[in-house]
């Protein structure tokens, strides 16, 4: 395998035209530089520098290489140098964010406003999150995912908390269940929308209600928060959904506290470690944290 360090040595030798000068510039001993020149001669099959009186002069092959090796070395240095600055004004890039229902409606406007102001050439693409598979992040199909970290989350993923959420109940305005203080009996007697999705479910709501002494009476089963809230808005059903996550969806419904305890949970953003040092990705993560730091509830 070629030693690419020889390219740097060759570039300096051809620039200096002197073994001694190249040695000083590379902080090598003259003997080490002579050995490097011997390796270059062997690698290229050309003497490269030959003596003409008291000085060395380049061969035709060396003159040809001098015009090629400089840009290659400069390009390699640029690739290996850490990124120093991100010009948001000229950044053109598409980022894919995988989120559950309600996240875009709640936090999308703030995120879009900031990204458009700071980097107008950036496009955000929001895609649905039907499951908790980590493959889209691992394979580079998704830049950032939001959700609850659990045992199904791939251990190599990076994660940062965005906000804490809790479960609340929703019902249409004027629903009889809201006529008095919510109790376990009133909650259990109502007809409920249950949310079931592969890898994402609200069975913890049923478990918590059952532990407190209430059994939910399931009338309809749906696969997402938006459908559950829409049915609660337009029918006599009630739904139990995450409060902050669905703030953008809960227009036109009344929200009430559950009559039994349920632990709060944390929504985090996740990304693959290969994106850690990417300056544009870092900027997007900062924008997302900022958008989620503004509390919006209804």
Burial class (CB in 10 A: 0-12, 13-18, 19+), 71: exposed
pLDDT band for position 24 (50/70/90)? confident
Ordered domains of the chain (ranges, CATH)? 5-80 (1.10.10.10), 93-164+266-292 (3.40.190.10), 167-263 (3.40.190.10)
* The pLDDT of residue 297: 43
pLDDT at 298 over 50: no
Task: Name the pairing type of β-strands 265-271 and 158-165.
Answer: antiparallel
* The pLDDT of residue 2: 57
**85-106 pLDDT tens trace:** 889 999 999 999 999 888 999 9
Whether the full predicted model's pTM is greater than 0.85, yes or no, is no
**143-167 pLDDT tens trace:** 999 999 888 888 888 999 999 999 9
The per-residue pLDDT of the chain, averaged, comes to: 87
Beta strands in the chain (DSSP E): 49-52, 55-58, 93-99, 122-128, 144-147, 158-165, 167-172, 191-197, 200-201, 217-222, 238-242, 253-256, 265-271
pLDDT band for position 198 (50/70/90)? low
């Amino acid at each position: 395998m070629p030693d690419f360090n020889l390219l740097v040595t060759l570039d300096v030798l051809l620039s200096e035209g002197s073994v001694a000068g190249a040695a000083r510039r590379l902080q090598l001993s003259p003997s080490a530089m002579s050995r490097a020149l011997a390796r270059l001669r062997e690698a290229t099959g050309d003497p490269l520098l030959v003596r003409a009186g008291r000085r060395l002069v380049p061969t035709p092959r060396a003159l040809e290489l001098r015009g090629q090796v400089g840009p290659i070395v400069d390009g390699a240095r640029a690739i290996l140098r850490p990124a120093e600055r991100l010009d948001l004004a000229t950044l053109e890039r598409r980022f894919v964010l995988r989120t559950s229902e309600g996240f875009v409606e709640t936090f999308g406007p703030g995120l879009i406003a900031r990204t458009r102001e700071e980097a107008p050439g950036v496009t955000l693409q929001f895609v649905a999150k039907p499951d908790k598979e980590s493959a889209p992040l691992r394979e580079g199909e998704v830049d950032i995912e939001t959700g609850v970290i659990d045992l199904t989350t791939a251990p190599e993923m990076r994660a940062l908390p965005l906000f804490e959420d809790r479960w609340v109940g929703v019902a249409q305005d004027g629903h009889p269940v809201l006529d008095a203080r919510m109790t376990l009996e009133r909650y259990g007697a109502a007809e409920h929308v249950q949310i079931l999705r592969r890898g994402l479910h609200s069975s913890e709501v049923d478990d918590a209600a059952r532990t407190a002494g209430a059994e939910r009476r399931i009338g309809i089963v749906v696969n997402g928060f938006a459908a559950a809230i829409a049915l609660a808005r337009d029918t006599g059903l009630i739904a139990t959904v995450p409060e902050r996550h669905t703030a953008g969806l809960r227009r036109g419904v009344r929200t009430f506290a559950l009559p039994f305890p349920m632990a709060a949970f944390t929504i985090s953003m996740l990304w693959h470690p290969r994106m850690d040092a990417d300056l544009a990705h870092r900027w997007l993560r900062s924008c997302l944290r900022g958008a989620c730091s503004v509390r919006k509830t209804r």
